[in-house]
Amino acid sequence: MVDKEKCTGCHQCELWCGTEIASTSKDLARAIQETPQPVPRVYVEGKPFALQCRHCEEAPCLDACPNGTMRRDPETGLVYVNEPTCIACWMCVMVCPFGIINPSSSLKVAVKCDRCKNMGYPICAEVCPTGALSLVERKDYRKKKF
């Protein structure tokens, strides 16, 4: 979750999401020179607030994906892109109400937050200097258990 009182809009989460998750070098100075340019999966736009995939209960991207590339992890409920099978049709982009799926024309895959499901802890929360980003269960909002 994001604590908007603490978010200063510093874009650190974007920077490190792009570096740690998307780049091949995993080094900020080198990452910014990489081609294709690494893209972050979290967005600080308009307001001081880090917006990433909401992993919707009724996720429209899951309905729109024509070949099962967009998947929901049955244990965690997280929605993720199975990159090897993505055919870059951008149907998920077309329906995502939050606009957080990046149609990466250079990578030819849909890029979105999977809450760092392979890393244990999300990098955006780890690097947030004010502690505005943190990983907590929001049971009060989400009634559905996956």
Partner 1 sequence: MRYIIIGGSAAAISAVESIRSLDRESPIDLFSDEETPLFSRVLLPYYVAEELSKPLLNFRTSDFFEENRVTAHMGVKVTDLNPKTKTIKASDGKQYGYDKLLLATGGRAIIPPIPGIDKEGISTLKTMADAERIYNMKGKRAVVIGAGSIGVEACISLTRRGIKATLLEQLGQVMPTVFDAEAAAIVRKRIEDLGIEVFTGEKAVQFKGDKRVTGVVTDNRDLPCDMVILSVGVRPQTELAVQAGLAIGDMKGIRVDETMMTSVPDIYAAGDVAETHDIARDTWFLNAIWPCAFEQGHYAGLNMAGRKTAYPGSYRRNSIGNFIGIPAISMGVTAAESCAMVSDEDEFREIRVRTKESYKKLVLKNGKIVGAILVGQTQKAGLMSILLRKQVYVADSIPLLMSDRLSFMDLLPILRRNADQFSEPEYKELMDTGL
In the beta sheet, which residues pair with residue 44? 50
Both structure tokens of 41:
């999966």
Under the binding rule (CB under 8 A), the answer on residue 76 touching partner 1 is no
Instruction: Find the shortest distance in angstroms from Cβ 45 to partner 1.
Output: 4
Both structure tokens of 95:
């329906």
Instruction: Find the shortest distance in angstroms from Cβ 132 to partner 1.
Output: 11
Q: Which is nearer to partner 1, 94 or 119 (CB)?
A: 94
Under the binding rule (CB under 8 A), the answer on residue 121 touching partner 1 is no
Which of the ranges 14-22, 80-88, 117-125, 127-135 carries the binding residues for partner 1, by CB under 8 A? 80-88
To which residue do tokens 């149609």 refer?
103
For residue 25, CA distances in Å to 19, 28, 105, 141 come to 8, 8, 20, 38
Applying CB under 8 A, among 15, 49, 126, 127 the residue interacting with partner 1 is: 49
Under the binding rule (CB under 8 A), the answer on residue 77 touching partner 1 is no
**Contact pattern for partner 1 over residues 56 through 75, marking x by CB under 8 A:** xxx-x--xxxxxx-------
Under the binding rule (CB under 8 A), the answer on residue 10 touching partner 1 is no
Residue 81 to residue 46: CA distance in whole angstroms? 26
Q: Do residues 47 and 54 make contact, with C-beta atoms less than 8 angstroms apart?
A: no
| DSSP strands (E only) in 1-146 | 43-44, 50-51, 70-72, 79-81, 102-104, 109-111
Binding stretches for partner 1 (CB under 8 A)? 1-2, 4, 43, 45-47, 49, 51, 54, 56-58, 60, 63-68, 85, 87-91, 93-103, 105, 108, 138, 141-143
